[in-house]
Amino acid sequence: MDDNITQDTVLIVEDDESLRELLTEELTDAGYQVLAVGDARKAALMLEKHDVQLIISDLRLPGDTGLDLLGHIRSTSSQQNSPGPGFIMVTAFGTVEQAVDALKQGADDFLTKPIKLDHLRISADRVIQRRRLQEELARYKALIDDQEFHGILGRSRAMQQLFNNIRMVARAGGPVLISGESGTGKELVARAIHAESDRNNAPFIAINCAGIPPALLESELFGHTATAFTGAQKARQGLFAEADGGSLLLDEIGEMPVEMQAKLLRILQDGRIRPVGADQEKQLDVRILAATNRKLEQEVSDGRFREDLYFRLQTFAIEVPALRDRDDDLDLLIAHFIRRVSLQQNKNITAIDEPALLRLRQYDFPGNVRELASTIERAVTFCQGSEIGLQDMPERLRHASSTLSTPKISDTDTAEIGDRTSQESVFLELINRLEGSQPDPEKWTSLPSLEQAYIDYTLQRFKGNKRQTANALGIGRRTLYRKLGDDTDAETGDHS
């Protein structure tokens, strides 16, 4: 084991004293801190007092069995939402059924007696490494969760402001106008407003006004009676009725015919609808969310949109930022889409190379997040290795001239690209390896290199400030200096 890596603790649970001592000696020589007990009850007590990375337990023990101990540990870990310690089951009566049962209950490996000590070391190293990677994955997912809001991913100032606006508007209860370019995620914003509101247990219904012929839009929205028109064989309640108590998204409201706009205005005023062909009106409770990629002020000026409806919708207005205005989110979104599409396609894509990343960062993305998602999907599909390259990009990006794109970084920034994306690449690698069915341990990145990459990334994030870096990593400054191979410390004049 590497001296720079924190010493891991192994708990041995074995009622055979001589074997317990042998395993303790072997794993101590391998560089582990070893605790050893003779039964599951003592093991549970030991786990309350010590931070244990790996448990090696006999299946048959006095009192509770190794499977009982395993079940207790996995249940506790699940409640704490953590991977918990690794677990290797050992038995002198190994059968395929027992091994399968242990693995199903959460064991990481299964060894039979007599134990081959070299196999024990290999298994212990592999399981602990896997657990370390799972912990990194959990931290990465927590990081994503901190930057995700009802399915919308963003850490930029623009997106954080959007999330705040959604929360405030959701509580207000009135109609909302959601504006933004095509592909920015306006429907996701509408769903987030609904989810944050007190209507979140009622239906959310969405309709694209541009996708329904004008002649059918009224019956689609308001419903119709069985005899309303030729071909109407039975009554239909309509989307407003389906959304009663909840929210209705009218996407691309700028495409709604002017005559329908008048009826929508009335609904906003008194909440009443009249199905096509009906004599009676219905009172409904529906929150209207409208979305558009048009400039409705101009539509009003041109006579294509009612001014009174525009002002009614404009009471609560939200603008969804374009991707080009979300520079801080691009790397995060790229990593997210690579991971998602790789899992969907059962591929092991772990990174994106610098030329491809640079081209993505220089591109305007007129289609916004939707275009980025389709670009990454195409790249993952055509990628033949584990790293996306420029050759995997769509032709418009492969052959794009810098004069046709808007660079988001200067020449002096390009040297930082690898550092700025190193954490994303590391975590993508962790995710893909952990979620693969049978990853090959020989191909795993070593723990020292993962640790060094993480330290380098954190140091870069804090612009070389070692005090802030150490605090962020949760280690002492002297430990950080040692890991950096730097003999300088706070007492010799380094005040960074």
Which residues contact residue 229 at a Cβ distance below 8 angstroms, ignoring those fewer than 6 apart? Answer: 219, 276, 277
Rounded mean pLDDT of 154-163? Answer: 93
pLDDT at 487: 52
Q: Per mean pLDDT, which of 100-114, 292-306, 440-454, 475-489 is the most reliable?
A: 292-306
Question: Which percentage of the chain shows pLDDT scores above 90?
Answer: 48
Which residues contact residue 234 at a Cβ distance below 8 angstroms, ignoring those fewer than 6 apart? Answer: 226
Residue 76 confidence class, pLDDT cut points 50, 70, 90: confident
The model's pLDDT over 360-417, given as tens digits with 9 standing for 90+, comes to 998 989 999 999 999 999 999 999 988 899 999 998 888 765 433 433 333 333 333 3
In CATH, the architecture of 325-461 is Orthogonal Bundle (1.10)
Is it true that 9-145 and 325-461 share their CATH fold?
A: no
Which residues contact residue 19 at a Cβ distance below 8 angstroms, ignoring those fewer than 6 apart? Answer: 113, 115
pLDDT at 239: 95
| CA terminus-to-terminus distance, the chain | 31
Among 64-78, 162-176, 402-416, 423-437, the minimum mean pLDDT is found in 402-416
CATH fold for the domain made of 152-321: Rossmann fold (3.40.50)
Instruction: Give the mean pLDDT of the chain.
Output: 82
Ramachandran class of 8: left when φ > 0, alpha when ψ lies in -120 to 50, beta otherwise: beta
CATH fold for the domain made of 9-145: Rossmann fold (3.40.50)
Evaluate the CA torsion angle 299, 305, 307, 312 in order and state its sign. negative
Phi first, then psi: what are they for 227, rounded to 5°?
-115, 20
Residue 312 tokens, joined: 């009614």
Has residue 482 got a pLDDT over 80?
no
Domain segments of the chain as ranges: 9-145, 152-321, 325-461
Among 58-62, 152-156, 220-224, 416-420, the minimum mean pLDDT is found in 416-420
pLDDT at 137: 59
Residue 485 confidence class, pLDDT cut points 50, 70, 90: confident
- Residue of 144 and 473 predicted with greater confidence: 473
Comparing CA positions, the residue from 267, 257, 261, 264 lying closest to residue 213 is 257
Residue indicated by tokens 């694209």 = 208
pTM listed for this prediction: 0.59
Has residue 275 got a pLDDT over 80?
yes
Packing angle between helix 354-362 and helix 368-382, nearest 10 degrees? 160
**395-415 burial code (b ≥16 CB/10 A, e <16):** eebeebeeeebeeeeeeeeee
Phi first, then psi: what are they for 420, rounded to 5°?
-65, -25
Beta partners for residue 9, in sequence order: 33
Which residues contact residue 7 at a Cβ distance below 8 angstroms, ignoring those fewer than 6 apart? Answer: 1, 31, 32, 33
Cα–Cα distances in angstroms (integers) from residue 401 to residues 48, 359, 364, 375, in the given order: 61, 10, 12, 17
Phi first, then psi: what are they for 288, rounded to 5°?
-95, 125
Check if the beta carbon of residue 338 is closer than 8 Å to that of residue 388: yes
pLDDT at 7: 79
Report how far residue 446's alpha carbon sits from residue 135's, in angstroms, rounded to the nearest whole number: 15
